[in-house]
Amino acid sequence: MRTQRMAHQQIQIHEDEPLSDENETVLDESRDPLAESSGCAASDESDEEVEESVAEDMAKFEESFNEINGKYRLINRIGEGTFSTVYKAEDLRYNEFENTWDYDERRDSKWSSPRHRNRPQSRKPRFVAIKKIYVTSSPIRIFNELELLHDLRDCDSICPLITAFRHNDQVIAVLPFFQHRDFREYFREMTVSEMRNYFQSLFTALAAVHHHGILHRDIKPTNFLYSPKQGRGVLVDFGLAEREGTDWRQCDCTLESYERKSKIANSVYASAYVKAPNAVPSYPKQDERNSRRANRAGTRGFRAPEVLFKCSQQTTGIDVWSAGVILLTFLTKRFPFFHSADDIDALLELTAIFGRKRMRDAALLHGQIMETNIPSYSDVGHSFEKIILWSTDRSRKDNRGNRVEELSKDEKEAMSFMERCFELNPERRITAKEALMHPFVTKAGEESGEEDMVDLVGNVEDDY
């Protein structure tokens, strides 16, 4: 249960004020993908060793919030951000409630005998995650997050809300404690067939979120608690989520392509370009124009191009893009793949891969002109095949200049799926629903050909 809200939440407020523009870069940043300790990953041994300061903090919390006493026993602090702190706690009165949220229990009881099911299970400690939302968060924001979670309560891939309550300005959300592994521990060992499971689970969650017309906005490994053992994950942290269509203002990307073309052809830029096609651009020194307004909340390195271009009609496609970044991480075995210190770097990193031409086109979709003369980027960029091979140190070539190693058939399938997530035009990008029908995902759970063999197969095929 991720907790890091604040910075970016501030943004959303701030973005309406033109003055705060300079803060934007930092403010809408969700927690850094690497900096996050994976909150709920707390393993058993770390439960034991509670830091002194954490113990103090928890004692204070319990003292100030009577309602949790007798209901939950705080065990450890497992995650914290700028807008909330998450604690692992024992659910002391588990048996007094229905617990429809408890996926494991439902699954277990399905297979156990009725007799066994009826037996009280008081022995087993039940854990929950308690999210203490800082009192500096506005009620509207808290409402937003809780309401969206409530809307999504019936989807197994989304971390359900057990309950939430308030004492004065302190709001507490109780969520299931989901045992999972830290992404960084396993992403390099993921086989393609494991990836299939991962993405089936993730896209099931996304499809549900999107079906409700909600954008998660912060899809990244730390917000998808995945248990490789169970082959199942849950989506958490809806602190940045919003309903699709919130604060939309017309963006050129929604125009018919001929309309857009005519608009582009008649743009100020087009006429300036006609005048001096090769002119080095210049920008106003003191620019008093308004900033383009768009929600940019999200995590660096996971933002879709339309977010970077400040599209004012962002769709659920931004989540699909972010999911694509996760897959890229698996395939290249690099985390994070994009460094993206800020949006400009993020855009340039995309340009390094997709090439200048496609990025320019992507910018135009949103009425933006992208101009760059940076020499490191080619017009056409690199193919993902090349990038994956290169990233995984398989890019050697023989004397004749042919690659020694190839992507496996499975990898290629994963790659083609990823490419669908990486459509620069959000309209053409695969939707979560469609993703669930893509061969890469539909083959999840199948005992696919042994990974080792696939390499050979791939090579053989290439000889034909």
Nearer to another protein, 188 or 211 (CB): 188
One-letter identity of residue 351:
T
Number of Cβ atoms within 10 Å of the Cβ of 63: 9
- Contacts to another protein from residues 294-333, by CB under 8 A: 300, 308-310, 332-333
Site for another protein contains 368 (CB under 8 A): yes
Site for another protein contains 397 (CB under 8 A): no
Cα(359)–Cα(347) distance, rounded to whole angstroms? Answer: 8
Cα(397)–Cα(199) distance, rounded to whole angstroms? Answer: 32
Nearer to another protein, 164 or 457 (CB): 164
The one segment of 141-149, 398-406, 424-432, 435-443 that binds another protein by CB under 8 A: 141-149
Q: Is-catalytic flag, 218?
A: yes
The one segment of 115-123, 165-173, 398-406, 434-442 that binds another protein by CB under 8 A: 165-173
Nearer to another protein, 129 or 435 (CB): 129
- DSSP secondary structure string, 6-29? SHHHHHHHHTTSGGGGGGHHHHTB
Q: What single-letter DSSP state applies at residue 397?
A: B
- Contacts to another protein from residues 55-114, by CB under 8 A: 57, 77, 80-82, 85, 97-98
Do residues 440 and 199 touch, judged by C-beta distance below 8 A? yes
CA-closest candidate to residue 222, choices 299, 317, 158: 299
Q: How far is the CB of 333 from another protein (least distance, A)?
A: 6
Site for another protein contains 379 (CB under 8 A): no
Count the residues in the chain. 464
Nearer to another protein, 58 or 206 (CB): 58
In the numeric block, which tokens belong to residue 229? 């053992």
Cα(87)–Cα(76) distance, rounded to whole angstroms? Answer: 6
Catalytic residue among 102, 218, 237, 319: 218
Do residues 430 and 448 touch, judged by C-beta distance below 8 A? no
Q: Which of 207, 364, 388, 418 binds another protein (CB under 8 A)?
A: 364
Q: Which of 1, 2, 36, 414 binds another protein (CB under 8 A)?
A: 36
Q: Which of 136, 378, 416, 442 binds another protein (CB under 8 A)?
A: 136
Q: What single-letter DSSP state applies at residue 403?
A: B
Site for another protein contains 223 (CB under 8 A): no
- Catalytic residue positions, numbered: 218
